[in-house]
Amino acid sequence: MNAIRDLKLDDVLDDLRSQATKRIDEFITEGRKQARHAGGGHDDIAVFSAFAVGILAGIPFIQFAGVAIIAALNFDMLLLSRGLLLSFADMIDSGFIVSVED
């Protein structure tokens, strides 16, 4: 009888709230799994593994694209420099005087 008198209502309610919260979380988690399974979806591990494989498969493509972009920019710079050289050569050949002064 003393044990019942020692209980406080706030402690009892806090304990009931924590148990209820745990059970609700379990029901929600289980409900999500059942809903995903009923809809033909995959579990969390399969979704994560597919995402990870997609990222790992995409990395070489991104690297290749980066190398291709850098190569295209270098080629463009070569063409621009050749055009600039030819343009100055045409100007000098046509009679322009180019001098460098101190």
pLDDT in tens, 37-52: 666 666 677 778 888 8
How high is the pLDDT of residue 3?
Answer: 64
**Statement: residue 102 has pLDDT above 80:** no
**Statement: residue 54 has pLDDT above 60:** yes
Longest Cα–Cα distance in the chain: 118
Over residues 50-68, the mean pLDDT reads 90
Q: Is 28 within the bounds of a domain? A: yes
Q: Is 51 within the bounds of a domain? A: no
Q: Is residue 64 located within the same domain as residue 101? A: yes
How high is the pLDDT of residue 38?
Answer: 67
Structural domain count, the chain? 2
Q: Is 74 within the bounds of a domain? A: yes
Q: Is residue 67 located within the same domain as residue 99? A: yes
Instruction: Domain of residue 1: give its range.
Output: 1-41
Q: What is the mean pLDDT of the chain?
A: 81
Q: Structure pTM?
A: 0.42
